[in-house]
Amino acid sequence: WGKSPSPQWVLRLGYDETKEEELQRAKEAKKKMALAKQSQEKAPRVRDVHVKGAMEWEKNAWKVWDKKKDQEEARRSKYSSALTKYIAGNKIVVREEPAAVQLCAHCDIGGGIHPLRRCMGCMAVAYCCR
């Protein structure tokens, strides 16, 4: 009987439910963060795995991408008209291309307009909807 009651059972006259719920949420969040931090510290480090030929593959992929980028720029300069504006000292280039250049053969056959994506598979098709 001589002990004072634990803090969680003390009757508080200025009890506010929303404030109490917020305090409980904060406590739970702190517990979760502590557990997450603890589990991160215990997790073993994963060694970097070297994949044979990966760098070579990546170099080749970049070469293909650069080649396609050059092709794209050549196509743009050949078929599109550019309008350059200077707004507040910033150069803004707006390019307008004829619709025939923006559509691929598949769209032409299908008769619909599809969003065009860069075709990485073949060098012949610059843009393709499939």
b/e burial code for range 59-80 (CB count within 10 A of at least 16 → b) = eeeeeeeeeeeeeeeeeeeeee
Which residues have CB under 8 Å from 68's CB, separation 6+? 118, 120, 123, 126
If you average pLDDT over residues 58-67, what whole number do you get? 87
Question: By percentage, how much of the chain surpasses pLDDT 70?
Answer: 59
Extract the tokens encoding 58.
């990546």
Q: Residue 7: is its pLDDT beyond 70?
A: no
pLDDT at 16: 79
Average pLDDT, integer, range 9-27: 81
Any idea which residue has 């598949």 for tokens? 106
The residue ranking higher by pLDDT, 121 or 97, is 97
Q: Residue 123 above 50 pLDDT?
A: no
Average pLDDT over residues 69-84: 79
Q: Where are the domains of the chain?
A: 71-128
